[in-house]
Structure formats: structure tokens, C-alpha cells
Structure 1
Amino acid sequence: MRVLTKSRFKLGLECLNKLFYTRKTEYANQKLEDTFLQALAQGGFQVEELARMHYPNGVLIEGNDWDYNGLAEKTKALLLQENIIIFEAAFLIDNLFIRTDILVKKGSKIQLIEVKAKSFNPSDEYNFIGKRGGMVTSWKPYLFDIAFQKHVMQLCNPEWSITSSLMMANKEETASIDGLNQLFRISKQANNRTGVVKLESDISKLGTSVLGMVNISPIIEDIIADNHKYHENMGFIESINLLKGAYEEDRYFNWPTSYRACKACEFKTSSVEEQEGKLSGFKTCFKKQHQWTDSDFETPNIFDIWDFRRGEQLFSEGVIFKRDLTPDVIGYKEEAGKLSRTERQWIQIEKDLNNDDTSYVDVEGLRQEMSTWVYPLHFIDFETSTVALPFNKGRRPYEQIAFQFSHHIYSEDGSITHAPEYINDQAGVFPNFDFIRQLKKGLEAEKGTIFRFATHENSILNAIYEQLLDSDEDDRTELIEFIQTISHSKRESPVKWKGERDMVDLCEVIKMFYYNPHTKGSNSIKMILPAILKSSEFLKKKYAQPIRNIGVSSNNFESNHIWLKMELGEVINPYKLLPKVFEDWTEEQIEQSLSEIEDIADGGAALTAYGKLQYVDMTKQEREQLTNALLKYCELDTLAMVMIFEHFKEDLVR
């Protein structure tokens, strides 16, 4: 039976062609779902279990996910009762199938409750619908999902009066007890399903709930009435019928390609997957709709141009290949003293068209920037998490958790020291204040310029600053003053500061003065590192030797460890040589599978591993192995920053 489920409905709304590719093993899929992985990263299992505790008499419908008829029949039997609460109620009609998180039945009055591991601010009237009346983009898939659920329920039971609600973490509430998030443990069962062990069943013992309910019935009614559309010129019921028909018939829909959707398409193949014979949905679409040949796929196109804000417009006009671009077409403008966004784009375009893999560098601009840096240089990387249910009493949902940092020091004589690092791998501990104490100890002993990569570290320091303001820590004044010396305030902060050692963003330095074609337009440190290793003879020579021979210390690798290894004449990305932090998943697969989580950036692997340390019962040996993997992962992040600096110093501005 090929039924349109709510997950397939959401997928089809992104692009109807995806329904043809999904769940076909012959097609590569970069977002293969793993409920255990996502539960660890998002904490969704905790929110769901806490939500159910609000309804202690609820009945859970259990059974195999694919047994649509069986699940629906169990639900029908329970719904014969006048009043009942059901978890995972199932409805099947005309090859449409949904399961609801929580259903509350009182006669013919039904409350449909969707539980989300997201947060909302009850004081914000624009959570879902913006000031101009349009739906907030990040909420669009979820709201249409709920509308789909209501539609199917109403088809099954036309006499029902259904209200729709969202239950989520309330950012204005604080936890009443310590260890709230530790009351829900997670396990991976033999059938690969996610299981939860609940350590408390009486919600009254949890104090004030950090979850809140929002009635979204007016929005759902507007969706069904076509006042909000997912796709222009396509009504809600029309979209359901189109998606259902295409999926039932296992038919390629020929939905038009688009810049945004195709750029992010998960049905693409890596070079390894192509060698293994996997098919690419992306290629199938472009062969069918644009008559691309194999050579067209080798021709530079606009999808990988960095921060290309004109991409959607140009694609709609039929401009797909870089050869059809001109400076005027991309809106080329120069900026004094640094590369503008469009200058950088044009450099990327020209180098791709000319098959030029040499780096661009503004030598004078970079030299001038580097002349302001003071030795010893400090390179810092944070690993962080946010959790829906707070660690401690008085904490709010989704407060930032800083659980790890790495710190490398580059001295003027060229020696490189891996300074004392920090990690908290203990479950249920709020680590932020100890984290900042250890960072203070490591940075205040020696002066010198401090580096971060991108904006994350500054954002975290601002978050800890605010947490300290509300704390009663004995040393909070000293810690606040320290934070203000190495960071700058957020734009919306009522207190403004810019520290005398405000961290230098190495990513911004790259954007302003340097472009390496091997990055393919990416500014992720995971792409920058292998790119500079390919380009730098200095780094190749140095890091092909054991670390004991090159003046580099390490807290986590043996003295005979070699960072740079080759395979068939190509540099192996050092990140690919690290131990996996999550079973059989590579770091790249984790990042792809969790890409919908907001603000995950490059931290998916570490965030997931930290979730495992927090919520999964492990042996001491398993915990140590995972902790060691995290330490190695973070150490490479800061060593990569050192290598970028060495590339600048030894190869570019000498």
C-alpha cells in the first residue's frame, strides 16, 4: 500500500519530484533519517514524554509503523469511548495516513495537539505569522503538516469539531527542579526504534511546566481555506491530491526545478556513491527537464557560488551556468580595503571558468591585518549545545550549554602548544560557569591576540554573560569582566562593550583577503582545512611528519601521530581520519541529516555526541571512548586555525 503520510506530505511540498526518489535504495539520499540520531540532537523525545505527562490517562497506540490498517483500527476502537486521550492516534482514509502526537476527545469536540522540540515566546504575537501577514518561513512546513493532519481527521470524522494546538518549550518559563532533562533517558532498541525510559511519572513533582500550549486553529483554517499557500497557484486540497496521486502511481511528477530547492536537494550522489552505482535524483531532474548531458554536469554552474543572492532570480531566467554570468549580471561592486561579497563571487566564477586552482590573496590587505596581531596567538574553539528541557532549577528552555573548548597557542618562535582544554562529559551538569573559569585561566596568563572561527564563540560568550548576570556565583563580577575583555556585545544588548582583546574572526579574515578554489565557495573550516593543505607546500612538508618532530604538542594524540596523509596523490581530509563520534555515521552524514536544525552549523557531530553523553546510559569505557573522540575532534578545529595562520604567514605574505 502506497499511502501519503504526513512526512511524505511535507517532503512533497518541498518538491513533488522527491516523492519519486524517497525510499528507493537505488537513489542516493544525503538526509537518511535516524530517529535515534535526531532524538539525541534535538531532545525531541524529552519534550514528547513531558507533554504526555500532562495527560496521565492517555492511551498509547503501539504497533508497526507500516501497519496502517492495524493502527487505524486500534484508534477507531478507542474512539468509541465518549471521552478519551490518545497518544499516536492513527487515521487512514483514501490512501492518506496520519498519526497525531496527542488527541483529546470529549464527545465530538477534539483537540489535536502537535508536540514540537522547538520553542516559542508567548509575548511575541508574530511567532507564526509575520507583521506583514505572511507565514514565518521556518514554521511553514510544520503548520502545513498540522493542517494535513486536521484534514485527514475531518475526512474520517466529518461530525467532529477540531481545534489545533502546538505544545512546545516556553522560553519565558524556568525549571522548578534540578535535573529535569535527566528524567528521560533514551535507548536504541534491537529493531532500531527509539525507546525512552521515564524516571518520573508524576508531573506534580516537576513543579511549573516549561512547556506551553498555543491555539493555532485560525492559522490552520486559513491554510485549508488557501489564505496561506505553500506554492504559488496551488491550493491546499489540490496539493494533497497531486501528491497522493503521484505517490500512489510511483510517478515522476516533473515538478519544475528551482534554484533554492535544487541547491539543497538531498538526492545527490557523492563521487564514491556514483562509483558504487547509486543514482542521483538531481541529475535525473536536470536530464529530463533541461536535457543536460553528462558534460553539462561537469560544466561550472551557479549552485555553489558563495552567498549568491541573485541565484533564484537568474535561475528563473534560465541562467544556470557560470559561463553566462558577467560582473553586471551578479551586481558586482567593490569595497575599499577588503573583498566585497560580489568581488569574491566573481573571483570564484572566473577561477572555475578558467580551471584555475591557484588561490587569490590580497597580500597587502592581509599583511596589514596580520601586522596588528600580537604574539603569542591564541586559537579557540567552543563546542556547545542547547537543550529543550533545562539542566537546573531556574534555567530556561534552550539556554546555551558550553561543554567543551580547545586552545592552541602559537608562539613567536613558531612553536605550537596545545594548551589545557576543557570538557564536561558528566550527565546533568550545567557546565557554563566552570567552562568560563577554565577559559579565563587559559587566556589571562599570557596576553596576545585571540582567534575564533565565525561568530559562534562571541555569541556564546554573550549568552554566558547574561547567565552570569542572573546568577549568584561568588566570582561572577570577575567572570563578567573577563568576558567583556575578549568579546563584543550583541547589537540588541542594553550594555555595550568591545573588549581590548576582542576575538579576531579568522573566517572574516579569509572572506576579506583570501579565496581558495578548492573550497568550492564554502567557508566552513571543514572545507578550508583540506583546501589549504592541497595548496600549501609548507604545510604539506611540515604536517607529513610526526608531531614530535615539528614543534607541535598535543593533549590527545600520540607523539608519532601524523596529521597529513595522502591517498592516490591526494591529501586526505584530516577530519575524515578522526574517530567517529556516533556509531557508523560519518561527520558529514550527521551534518546533512541534521541540517534542518537551526544554528547547527558545523557542530552536528559534537552536539549529537554530547546528547549521547547526557541521555544514554553507557559503560565507563564507552563514555571514555566518546569523550576522547570529542577531545580529538575539537583539538583539530583549533589546530586547523593554526594551519590557516601558518599558510598565511609562510606561503602568502612572506
Structure 2
Amino acid sequence: MRVLSKSRFKLGLECPNKLFYTGKKVYANQKNANPFLEALAKGGFQVEELARLYYPDGHLLKGEDWDYEKHWNQTKELLKKENVIIYEAAFLVDGLFIRTDILVKKGNIIELIEVKSKSYDPVNENTLVGKTGGLVSSWQPYLFDIAFQKHVIQLCYPEFEIKSFIMMADKSKKASIDGLNQLFRITKLTDNRTGVRVLAKSKDDLGNPVLGRIEITDIISGIETGQHTYGKSLVLTDSIKNFKETYINDKYMNAPTSYLACNKCEFRTSDEDIEQGLKSGFNECFEKQNKWNNKDFEKTSLFDISGIHWSKSVKLFSNNSIFAESLNQEDIGYKEGVGKLSDSERAWIQIGKAINDDNSIYVDKDGLKEEMNKWVFPLHFIDFETCTAALPFSKARRPYEQIAFQFSHHTYYEDGKIEHSNQYISNKAAYFPNFDFIRELKKALESDNGTIFRFHNHENTILNAIHVQLLESDEKDKDSLIHFIESISHSTGNSARKWQGDRDMVDLWIIAKNFYFNPLTNGSNSLKDLLPAALNNSSFLKDKYSNPIHKISLTSTNFPTDFVWLVQEEDKVINPYKHLPPVFDDWTEEEIEHSISDIEDINDGGAALTAYGKLQYTDMIPSEVEQITSALLKYCELDTLAMVMLYEHFQEIIA
């Protein structure tokens, strides 16, 4: 039986054409998520189980997810009761099927409670609806999802009054017990599904509540009446009707291609997908609607070019100015930067090199040299691994507080000697490591005044978060730790206290962005793209790192002295990250990143976050803990060595 479920409804909101490609094994899907990995990274399963404890004695409908009739019949029987609570209640009507997180029936009043692993701050009145009265764009998919659920329930029971709620983590609340997260253990069930083993017997074991409930009945009514649309014009009732007809009849909607929707399309093929004979839904759409041929797919298009503001890309796409060869400086809003490359300059460089099939590096040597001459030896390269957990690890901590569980530190001396000087990792469950983390970082960096490097703003953001945590703490050495943080970082915009340290970390991401462009990165400034691009362009790096560690004036904490970082195949350097062991369960870093790709605010570092989640939320024997810890240490060591290699690449260029 084909039915329009709420997950398919949400997919249709993204792009109606996806309804034709979803679930078909012949098409590549970059978002084929592994629920176990998602649970480790996101915590949604745990939040849902926690929410159920606040609505005790509910009836859970489980098993045979495909058996729509069975669950619908069970739900109908339960709803005959005057008062009842149901987890995963099912409703089936006229080709529509939904399951609700928590449903509370009191007489003829239904409370529809959607549980989300997101968070909110009750002080912010504009979490869901903006100041101008429209839905906040990031919340539109979730609110339309709930409106779809209400629509289906109302079709089944028109006599019921339905009130709608969202339940999620309240960032203003603090846990009153230690190890709240440990009460919900993620496990693989016998049928290979993902589940949560709940150790709490009742809500009395949970301490103060850390979840809050927001009533959204009026917002959902506004969606139903068309007051709130999805995007600029999509109305709820029309979307349900069209999506249902399309999906049930397995039709291709032929919805127009667009920059915003197609840029995020998961139905594209990687080289590996092509080798496996998988089809590309993305390609089929552009063949049908835009008449692209094989040569068009090989061209550089708006989807590949970084640095053009999305609003301009939308306009250019609608005018069919899609390929690099059709763009001019006026199209992309070209402006010259002052002392650095502007985003539009980088875009124009990328366009020019694509048109001319030019893979040579562009670099502002004078600007880069002037910047590098400011740096003081010894140079320090640091990388943090962190996570935010919906359920606090320890007493007095809030949901989604930053947790810093690992760092790596390389030192580069003026004579060219390179040391993997320090590392820290916390692999203990139910432990808040941040203050130990900052103490170890202080020991690592306080012995000299050398320049400190980070990559992007993550490390500075984390230090700001720990700064706030220290201010609220009773740590005996809090003053010296706060002083250290202020010496190597700068305050962010929302900090009550303002500072900029004498050794404020230098952001290598900004250095690369301001002075350097490598066509092999396809416009990306991610370190994991910059590194292999630099390695393939640099004869110095190829020669040096093709030798064992002990021969190149380099020390390592996690690799043997005969380890060789660079391996070449057919004159192409293999990305060093591909030679590292899987973090766990034979899942490569790329596979983990794909599985959690739709989770907000996760870019690089998703594999480490997921592995840390496994250390926290699953039961493991010591050898497995050791295996994961070892893999995390190796990944983090390469992260800071990659920064060293990038520095050496810049040094080679200006020399």
C-alpha cells in the first residue's frame, strides 16, 4: 500500500520531484541515514523517551511499521476510551498516514504533542514566528509537518478538538541530577532497528524537567487557513492533495528546477554510486526540464561556485544564467576586496579558471607574505572536538551546553622541527570535561608567546562558551583559567564581557579565504578539501610527507615512527584521512557524515561527535572504548597536522 506519510510529506515540501525518487534502490541517495548513527549524533530518540516519562502509562504501538492498517485499528480501539495516552498513535485515511509522537485524549479534546530534539529559549518570543508575523523559515518544515498531522487526525475524527504542542529542550533550565543522559541508553534491537533502553523508572528519577512545551494551536490554524504558507506561496491543503496524488500514483511531479531546492538535492551520484550503476535523480530532472546533456553536467555551474550570494544565484538561475561561461562580473555583484580577496573576487577567479580549464593556484603573494611575517615562533596549531547534548551530562548543566572532549596540538619551530606536543581526550561517560580540558590546554600553550592557529571560528566559539561556564562555576582556579581564555581568544557578539587577547588565535580559514584559491577544492574552504588540493599541488609536501615520520623531523603521539602520511596512485595523492581506521563499526568518516548530513550545525567533525555519542550512550566493553578512543586521537592528530601542512604550503608559495 502506497500512502503519503508525514516523512514523505516533508520530502515533498523540499521538492515534489523527490517523491518520485525516494525509496527506489536504483537511485543514489546521499541522505540514506543510518538511524543508529543519527541517534548517537542527534539525541532525538532519548528526548522522545524522556518526554514519554512526563506522560506516564501511555500505550506504545510498535513493530511492523509497514502495517498501516494494524496500527490504525489499534489506535481506533484505544481512542474509544474517555481518557487515554498513546505513543506513536497511527491514523490512516484516504491515502494519508501519520504517526504521532505523543497523543493525549481527554474526552473530545486531543493534545497532539510533537517531540523535537531541537531547543528553544523561552525568553525569545520569536522562536517560531518572526517579528513581522511570518513563520521563521527554519521552523517551516516542522510546523507544516504538525499541521499535516492535525489535518489527518481531523479527517479521521472531525468531532475532536485538537490542540497542538511542540515539546523540546528548554535552554533556560538546568539539570538537578548527575547523569541524566545515562538514563537513556541507545541500543540496536534484535531486528536491527535502533531503540533506547530506559533506566529511569518514572519522572521522579529525572530531577527538574529540562524539556518545555509550547502550544502552537493558533500557528497551526494559521497554516490551515492559508495565513502561513510554505515558502512564498505553497498552501497546506493544496500541497497535501498534490503530493498524495503524485506519490500514490508513482508519478513524476515535473516541478520546476530551482537553485535553492536543487542545490540541496540528495539524489545525486558520487563516483562510487556511478561505479555501482546507480541513477541520478538530479540529472534526470535537468535532462527533462532544462534539456541538459552529458557535457552540461561536466560544466561548472552555479551549484559549484562559491562566493555568489544566494539571492543572486536564485535570480541568475531563474534567468537561465547557470553555467560559468554565461556569467559576467555584474551578474555576480563583483567587488574588489581591500587588502584581501572578497567573496565575489574568489567567485570570479573560480569562474575564470573553470572556463579556461586552468587548475593553477591563485595566490596574493604580497598579502600572504605580509600576514605571515607577523607570526611569532614557535607556531601552535590546535583543533577541538566538541558536542552539544540535548540531555545534560551533569548537575547544574543546561540542555545543549557545549562540551569540549578532545584537542590536539602541534608545534612548529623556527628550524622546521614539528612536534605533536599535546593531546587531551575525555572518554568517560556522564562526565563534564570542560574545566579539565581548558586546564590541559593552558598547560600546553602558556610556556611561550608563539602564535596560535585555529581553523574557522569553532575554537573561539568554544572558548567563549567555557568562559561563561567558568564565570558561573565555583572552580578554585577559575580566575586564572578565564584570564588564559581571554589571552588567546576574542569575545563574540553576544558576550556580556568584551575582550580581545594579545595572542588571539589566527584563523587559517580566513588566511586561505583572503589570499589563496585552489581550483582543486571546487570553491570549498573546508580543511578536508584544502588539504588534498594543497598536497596535489605542492611538490614540497609530496616529497616531504612521502617519507616515514622519523625521517622528516616530525614527532607523533599516535602513529609509529615508520608511518608514511602520503600515498600516491597514478600521480595523484590519496587524501590522508582515507588511510585512517574507521572510528567504529567499519563506518568510514564519509559514511558517518552522510548519515547525519541533515542535522543542523554539523559540518566537519561529525564522525568525532558520533563516536563520542557512542562512548556516552551505549554499553561497551573496555576494548571497544579503547578502539574508539585510539581512532579519535588519530583523527584529531591529523586535523592539526593538516593545518601544519597548509602552513608549509603557504611558506613554500611565498618563498
Does the pair score TM above 0.5?
A: yes
Specify the alignment match of 1:348 in structure 2. 350
Show CA shifts across 1:590-623 (max 9, x none): 2233233222121111110000000010111111
Contact kept in structure 2, 1:548 and 1:559, CA below 8 Å: yes
Show CA shifts across 1:527-549 (max 9, x none): 00000001000000011111111
Show CA shifts across 1:375-424 (max 9, x none): 00000000000001111111111000000000000000101100120000
Specify the alignment match of 1:556 in structure 2. 558
| Percent identical residues | 60
Specify the alignment match of 1:543 in structure 2. 545
Give, in angstroms, the shift of residue 188 of structure 1.
Answer: 1.0
Specify the alignment match of 1:468 in structure 2. 470
For residues 253 and 332 of structure 2, the distance between their equivalents in structure 1, rounded to whole angstroms, comes to: 32
For residues 388 and 512 of structure 1, the distance between their equivalents in structure 2, rounded to whole angstroms, comes to: 36
The letter for the 2-side match of 1:392 is S
Using structure 1 for the length normalisation, give the TM-score.
Answer: 0.99
1:20 aligns with 2:20: yes
Name which of structure 1's ranges 303-312 and 208-217 shifts more when overlaid on structure 2. Answer: 303-312
Specify the alignment match of 2:567 in structure 1. 565
For residues 58 and 348 of structure 2, the distance between their equivalents in structure 1, rounded to whole angstroms, comes to: 59
For residues 568 and 446 of structure 2, the distance between their equivalents in structure 1, rounded to whole angstroms, comes to: 39
Give, in angstroms, the shift of residue 501 of structure 1.
Answer: 0.5
Contact kept in structure 2, 1:93 and 1:156, CA below 8 Å: yes
Q: Kindly report which structure 2 residues correspond to 1:226-375, keeping only aligned pairs within 5 A, or say none.
A: 226-309=226-309, 310-375=312-377
Give, in angstroms, the shift of residue 446 of structure 1.
Answer: 2.5
The letter for the 2-side match of 1:397 is P
Give, in angstroms, the shift of residue 336 of structure 1.
Answer: 1.7
Specify the alignment match of 1:94 in structure 2. 94
Gaps of 5+ in 1: none
The letter for the 1-side match of 2:583 is V
For residues 637 and 308 of structure 1, the distance between their equivalents in structure 2, rounded to whole angstroms, comes to: 28
Contact kept in structure 1, 2:104 and 2:112, CA below 8 Å: yes
Q: Kindly report which structure 2 residues correspond to 1:88-487, keeping only aligned pairs within 5 A, or say none.
A: 88-309=88-309, 310-487=312-489
For residues 154 and 589 of structure 1, the distance between their equivalents in structure 2, rounded to whole angstroms, comes to: 40
For residues 147 and 79 of structure 1, the distance between their equivalents in structure 2, rounded to whole angstroms, comes to: 20
For residues 531 and 190 of structure 1, the distance between their equivalents in structure 2, rounded to whole angstroms, comes to: 44
Q: Kindly report which structure 2 residues correspond to 1:3-82, keeping only aligned pairs within 5 A, or say none.
A: 3-82=3-82
For residues 307 and 636 of structure 2, the distance between their equivalents in structure 1, rounded to whole angstroms, comes to: 27
SS at match of 1:328: coil
For residues 338 and 110 of structure 2, the distance between their equivalents in structure 1, rounded to whole angstroms, comes to: 62
Show CA shifts across 1:336-372 (max 9, x none): 2111111111011101111100100000000000000
For residues 100 and 513 of structure 2, the distance between their equivalents in structure 1, rounded to whole angstroms, comes to: 46
The letter for the 2-side match of 1:603 is G
Specify the alignment match of 2:654 in structure 1. 653
For residues 378 and 436 of structure 2, the distance between their equivalents in structure 1, rounded to whole angstroms, comes to: 24
SS at match of 1:52: helix
Specify the alignment match of 1:625 in structure 2. 627
Contact kept in structure 2, 1:31 and 1:589, CA below 8 Å: no
Give, in angstroms, the shift of residue 292 of structure 1.
Answer: 0.7
For residues 494 and 171 of structure 1, the distance between their equivalents in structure 2, rounded to whole angstroms, comes to: 18
For residues 477 and 138 of structure 1, the distance between their equivalents in structure 2, rounded to whole angstroms, comes to: 39
Contact kept in structure 2, 1:30 and 1:589, CA below 8 Å: no
For residues 95 and 570 of structure 2, the distance between their equivalents in structure 1, rounded to whole angstroms, comes to: 51
SS at match of 2:330: helix
Contact kept in structure 2, 1:61 and 1:71, CA below 8 Å: yes
The letter for the 2-side match of 1:600 is I
RMSD across aligned positions (CA): 1.0
Give, in angstroms, the shift of residue 2 of structure 1.
Answer: 0.7
Name which of structure 1's ranges 363-372 and 273-282 shifts more when overlaid on structure 2. Answer: 273-282
Give, in angstroms, the shift of residue 482 of structure 1.
Answer: 0.3
For residues 231 and 523 of structure 1, the distance between their equivalents in structure 2, rounded to whole angstroms, comes to: 30
Give, in angstroms, the shift of residue 231 of structure 1.
Answer: 4.1
SS at match of 1:518: helix
Contact kept in structure 1, 2:210 and 2:399, CA below 8 Å: yes
1:601 aligns with 2:607: no
The letter for the 1-side match of 2:569 is E
What is the number of equivalent residue pairs in this alignment?
653
For residues 368 and 607 of structure 2, the distance between their equivalents in structure 1, rounded to whole angstroms, comes to: 32
For residues 233 and 46 of structure 2, the distance between their equivalents in structure 1, rounded to whole angstroms, comes to: 39
Specify the alignment match of 2:583 in structure 1. 581
Using structure 2 for the length normalisation, give the TM-score.
Answer: 0.99
The letter for the 2-side match of 1:322 is A
Identify if the C-alpha distance between structure 1 residues 593 and 260 changes in structure 2 by more than 3 Å, giving closer, same or farther: farther
